[in-house]
Amino acid sequence: MPIDTGEVPPDKSDFDVIVVGGGPGGSAAAAYNSLNGCKVLLIEKGVWPRDKVCGDAVGGKSLSHVEELGVLPMIQATPYYQVDSILFGSANGSEVRVMLPKDSYEEKGLMSGYALPRVQFDYMMFKRASEIVKENGGSVIQGFTVKEVLSKGSGPSSRITGVTGKFGGGRSDNPMMTFSSTVTIGAGGYNCPVSRKITELYDEPHKDDHHFCGGYREYWENVDGLEGSEGQIEIHFIDEVLPGYFWLFPVKEGVVNVGIGMLISEQRKQKGMKKSLKKIQKWVIEEHPRFSGRFKDAKLVEGSEKGWQLPFGSPRKEAPSFQPRRGAMAGAMTVGDAASLVDPFSGEGIGNALLSGKLTSLHFDKGRHSEGFTQEDAERYMVDLWNELGGELSNSKKLQSMMKWKRLTNWFVNKASKKEEIGTMMSEMIASKETQKSLWSPWFLFKTLVLP
C-alpha cells in the first residue's frame, strides 16, 4: 500500500530539523527528533513502498529502537524469518553453527535477530516515523530529491542552512523548492548529498575503496536446506569468493536472500570472472560442488538482481580529522551509511543507522540551539558517536582482515566446529562488547584457540 504523507509544506518553509533520506537512519532521526519536540521535515526521494539492496538481516541492536518507536507490533504482524543461529562455512568445507544468545525479546516473539525484506522493514519504519513527525507539527515528503545542500560562509567555517530540490528527480520539469533548518541531518545512504557537502567543505575524503564494499543480491525461492520460517542464516568464506563472502539469508518461508560482498579495493585486484560479483554468484549457484545441488529446484525471483555499496565504519589509517570520517559540522549531522557506519565484518548497518539516528536527538535541542548548531556541537556528536561504536567497529575490522587468509579461516572454522568453547565465545562476541574486547587479549586467544 502507498503511504499517505500529507500536504507538502510551502516553498521556503523553515524547520528545526530537516532529515534527508527516509531509510532506517533517517526514519529514526526524524522520529526521535520529533519526539523531542522539534518541527521536522523528513524528505525521501523514493516513493513507498521502495526496495533497498541488503542482506535483510536485522541484528539484535535494532530491537530496542524498533520497540521504542512502536514498530515492533507491525513487524510481528508480517511474515519474517526468525534467526536463531549463524552458520559459518570455510573454504575447505568445514562449518560451524553459532547459536545467537536468547534475550528478553524471546518472550515477545523476536529473539536476537530476524530477517525480512527491506521493502517491508523500511516501509514500517517510514510509516511510523511519518506518523510521529506529523503528530508533532512536522512534514513528510516523498518522491522529492535533494539536489543541493545550502551553506553560508566558506570552507570549514561554513554553516549548513538547508536544502534545495524538486519532485520527480533529475529530468522532471518541476520547480525547485528550498527548505531551511537549524540542523540538517544527512541520512541519504552511502552517497548522501549532506555527507558529500561536509567532506567537500573540509576538503577531506568521502569515498574510500579500502573501506567501501561492493554488494550484490538476488532473491531465490525453494533453496534446499532453508525452507522454514525459523533457523540459521549462512555466511560462507569459499575459495572462489574470498576475499569476499557468500551469504544465504532466508527472509520468510520459502524465500532466501542470496548475495556476495567484497571490498572494492580487493575487487579491483581480481581478474576474469572474479571482477564481477554477479558472475561469481552465477558460478557458485550453478557449479559450486557444495551449493549447486541446493539450487537444483530453486527459482530466481525476477528483477531482484541488484548491486549496491556498503560504506564500512572501519577506522581509517590516516584519518585527517574524525573517525571513521568527518560526519558533522555547524548546522549538520549525518547518520547510518551517510556517516559510514556499516560493520566491516558482518556487513550490518541497520542497527548503527538506528543508533546514530537516536544520537542526533540527544545532541540537538531546539531551545538550547536556538542560535544555531555550532561546530563545537558537531564535534561533540562525532566524538560521542565514535566512543559508542569505535571499539566494536575496530574489532570487526580485525576480524575482516583475518578472514582474508584462507588457511586461517579454514583452521579457525575447523577448530570451532570441534571445540564447543569457541562456538560459545563467538556467540557471546555477537552479543557482548566485553567479550569482543577480550577476544584480542593474547591469553584469551591462546587459551581458547590453541590449548586442546
Binding site for ligand FAD (CB under 6 A): 20-26, 43-46, 52-57, 59, 145-146, 187-189, 193, 215, 217, 259, 261, 308, 310, 336-338, 342, 347-350, 353
- In angstroms, give the least distance from the CB of 444 to ligand FAD: 27
Q: To the nearest whole angstrom, how small is the minimum distance from the Cβ of residue 347 to ligand FAD?
A: 5
Cα distance between residue 126 and residue 445, in whole Å: 43
Asked if 268 contacts 429 with a C-beta cutoff of 8 angstroms, the reply is no
Distance CA 396, CA 344 (A): 6
Contact 167, 143 (CB under 8 A): yes
| Distance in Å, CB of 314 to ligand FAD, minimum | 14
Rounded to the nearest 5 degrees, what angle is found at the Cα of 403, between the Cα atoms of 402 and 407? 90
Q: How far is CA 26 from CA 86, 129, 141, 438, in A?
A: 29, 9, 13, 34
Q: Are 95 and 88 contacting, i.e. CB atoms less than 8 angstroms apart? A: yes
Closer residue to ligand FAD in complex, CB, 111/146: 146
Q: Which is nearer to ligand FAD, 72 or 338 (CB)?
A: 338
For ligand FAD, give the closer residue by CB, 156 or 169.
Answer: 169
Alpha-carbon distances of 153 from 160, 331, 339, 380, 435, rounded to whole Å = 9, 12, 23, 21, 46
Q: Which is nearer to ligand FAD, 337 or 377 (CB)?
A: 337
Q: Please identify, using beta-carbon distances, which residue of 45 and 134 lies nearer to ligand FAD.
A: 45
Q: Which is nearer to ligand FAD, 48 or 364 (CB)?
A: 48
Beta strands per DSSP E along 101-229 = 113-115, 139-142, 144-152, 159-167, 177-186, 212-221
Q: In terms of CB distance, is 342 or 422 closer to ligand FAD?
A: 342
How near is the Cβ of 106 to ligand FAD at its closest, in Å?
20
150 vs 163: CA distance, rounded Å: 5
CA distance 145 to 176: 10
Burial 232-270 (b: 16+ CB within 10 A, else e): bbbbbbbeebbbbbbbbbbbbeebbbbbbbbbbebbeee
Task: Supply φ then ψ for residue 237, to 5 degrees.
Answer: -100, 70
Q: Which is nearer to ligand FAD, 268 or 418 (CB)?
A: 268
* Closest to 194 in 3D by CA, of 129, 145, 148: 148
8 A C-beta contact, residue 20 and residue 188: yes
Residue type, 322: F
* Amino acid code (one letter) for 285: I
User: Measured from the CB of residue 439, what is the shortest distance to ligand FAD in angstroms?
Assistant: 21
53 φ, ψ to 5°? -65, 125
In the complex with ligand FAD, the residue whose CB is nearer, 334 or 448, is 334
Q: Which of 8, 23, 44 is nearest to 143 (CA)?
A: 44
> In the structure grid, which three cell numbers stand for residue 56, read together?
535483510
Q: How far is the CB of 249 from ligand FAD (least distance, A)?
A: 6
Closest distance to ligand FAD from the beta carbon of 227 (Å): 20
Considering the complex, what minimum distance in angstroms separates the CB of residue 28 from ligand FAD? 8
d(CA 199, CA 433): 30
When the beta carbons of 117 and 331 are compared against ligand FAD, the nearer one is 117
Nearer to ligand FAD by C-beta: 52 or 363? Answer: 52
CB of 350 to ligand FAD, least distance (A): 3
What is the nearest approach in angstroms of ligand FAD to the Cβ of residue 216?
Answer: 6
Place of cell 570487526: 396
CB 307 → ligand FAD: shortest distance, Å? 7
Q: Which residue is closest to ligand FAD by CB?
A: 349
Shortest CB 12 distance to ligand FAD, Å: 18
Residue (29 or 96) nearer to ligand FAD, CB: 29
d(CA 94, CA 237): 10
